[in-house]
């Protein structure tokens, strides 16, 4: 197995079958070797620096009905909210004082946030905080919309492809959601020179190791600057309420594989990973991740952005808990830095 790990580290692309074998490793020695190689590669490229992003969840209204998601339109128990421009700017002000230099505006696909509304907010943030990056994560939009938001100053865009396999995609989403459109969005974002993020949920219902192997091949080809992966966690008010969560072990293994596959990528230790294990974030960093995204949303709304059961939004997951988070990173030998935290690959563009 070590030869497959070495091959990956030397940038030799593995076949789908080889990825499946690597994903199925179970010997402790092999897992330790994979984790160690990934950690070394990350340390070589990004050092002991961990980048933070202030996550602002701007709306939980969503026109989509993804079977896994707690803010899907059919969830009548979700208490809907939407932040105003003033609220979003006040989150940024708070975040800037705390040391955040990237703000991530994420939300459901909410028709209120038309292009001109988003562009106005983005340009106001950039005007007030020219040293900060703005990341958007607002779902599928037209090519023109992505172009306008880029011109308004958006630097990055997160849009997980969720799964490369169209049959699997159709098991996770209603028919009106077209997997080809999702991929079109990602190609647009790359072409418009956003720092582009994609990713999957680990252990989503019906997912096979073959699916994940294809996701890895797709990610290698797309060459995203950011890769977000976290375990699937069920939400009690969704059709997938009775499915098991993805595991921490598989999520960590994938973080390490992704670090070797795309050495320069920005890879977060996600909230979902922190939710399934109290040590999830630290383990994610030790497995090769280099980003953490604490929550900067107004406290009264955080619990309403409930994508899955028991989603964390306080303690070290909250922007106010930054000192505790800094301490927990220091304990494992890493340092949270006040920096935009751009992808190092930008220098090669």
Name every residue whose Cβ is closer than 8 Å to that of residue 148 and which is 6 or more positions away in sequence.
Answer: 115, 119
Task: Give the contacts of 178 (CB within 8 A, at least 6 positions apart).
Answer: none
Q: How far is the CB of 39 from ligand SAM (least distance, A)?
A: 25
Closest distance to ligand SAM from the beta carbon of 333 (Å): 29
Q: How far is the CB of 235 from ligand SAM (least distance, A)?
A: 5
Closer Cβ to ligand SAM, 272 or 312, answer by number: 272
Residue 37, annotated ligand binder?
no
66 is an annotated ligand-binding site residue:
yes
At its nearest, how many Å lie between ligand SAM and the CB of residue 307? Answer: 4
Collapsing DSSP to helix, strand or coil, 58 comes out as strand
Minimal distance in Å, beta carbon 104 to ligand SAM? 10
Residue 62 known to bind ligand: yes
What letters, b where the CB count within 10 A reaches 16 and e where it falls short, cover 153-164?
bbbbbbbbbbbb
Please say which residue, 12 or 142, places its beta carbon nearer to ligand SAM.
142
Structural contact between residues 25 and 1, judged by C-beta atoms closer than 8 angstroms: yes
Q: In angstroms, what is the minimal distance from the CB of 84 to ligand SAM?
A: 19
159 or 254: CB nearest ligand SAM: 159
69 has binding-site annotation:
yes
Q: Quick one: 152 or 189, whose CB is closer to ligand SAM?
A: 189
Residues that bind ligand SAM (CB under 6 A): 68-69, 106, 108-109, 137, 139, 159-160, 162, 201, 230, 232-233, 235, 272, 307-308
**Pairwise CA distance, residues 34 & 115, whole Å:** 43
What is each CA distance from 209 to 21, 34, 254, in whole angstroms?
9, 17, 11
Nearest of 249, 252, 211, 207 to residue 229 by alpha carbon: 252
CB neighbour burial string for 257-285, b if at least 16 within 10 angstroms, e if fewer: bbbbbbbbbbbbbbbbbbbbbeebbbbbb
Nearer to ligand SAM by Cβ, of 108 and 224: the residue is 108
Strand partners, 134: 103
156 is in an annotated binding site: no
d(CA 214, CA 161): 12
Binding residues, as ranges, are: 62, 66, 69, 137, 162, 182
Binding residues for (3R)-3-methyl-D-ornithine, as ranges, are: 137
Binding residues for [4Fe-4S] cluster, as ranges, are: 62, 66, 69
Binding residues for S-adenosyl-L-methionine, as ranges, are: 162, 182
């Amino acid at each position: 197995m070590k030869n497959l790990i070495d091959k990956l580290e030397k940038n030799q692309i593995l076949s789908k079958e080889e990825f499946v074998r690597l994903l199925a490793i179970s010997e402790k020695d092999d897992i330790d070797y994979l984790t160690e190689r990934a950690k070394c590669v990350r340390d070589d490229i990004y050092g002991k620096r961990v980048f933070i992003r202030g996550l602002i969840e701007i709306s939980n209204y969503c026109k989509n009905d993804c079977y896994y998601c707690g803010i899907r339109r059919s969830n009548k128990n979700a208490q809907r909210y939407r932040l105003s421009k003033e609220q979003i700017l006040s989150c940024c002000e708070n975040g800037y004082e705390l040391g955040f230099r990237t703000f991530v505006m994420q939300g459901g696909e909410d028709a209120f946030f038309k292009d001109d509304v988003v562009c106005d907010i983005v340009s106001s943030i950039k005007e007030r905080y020219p040293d900060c990056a703005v990341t958007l994560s607002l779902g599928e939009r037209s090519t023109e919309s992505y172009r306008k938001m880029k011109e308004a100053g958006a630097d990055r865009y997160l849009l997980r492809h969720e799964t490369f396999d169209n049959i699997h995609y159709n098991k996770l989403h209603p028919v009106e959601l077209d997997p080809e459109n999702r991929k079109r969005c990602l190609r647009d974002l790359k072409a418009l020179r956003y720092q582009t993020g994609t990713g999957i949920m680990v252990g989503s219902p019906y997912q096979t190791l073959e699916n994940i192997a294809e996701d890895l091949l797709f990610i290698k080809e797309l060459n995203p600057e950011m890769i977000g992966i976290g375990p699937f966690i069920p939400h009690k008010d969704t059709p997938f309420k009775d499915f098991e969560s993805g595991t921490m072990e598989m999520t960590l293994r994938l973080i390490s594989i992704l670090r070797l596959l795309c050495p320069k990528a920005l890879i977060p230790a996600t909230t979902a990973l922190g939710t399934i294990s109290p040590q999830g974030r630290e383990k994610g960093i030790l497995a090769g991740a280099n980003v953490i995204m604490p929550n900067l949303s107004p406290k009264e709304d955080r619990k309403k952005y409930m994508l899955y059961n028991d989603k964390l939004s306080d303690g070290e997951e909250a922007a106010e808990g930054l000192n505790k988070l800094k301490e927990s990173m220091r304990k494992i030998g890493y340092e949270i830095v006040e920096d935009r935290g751009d992808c190092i690959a930008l220098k090669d563009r």
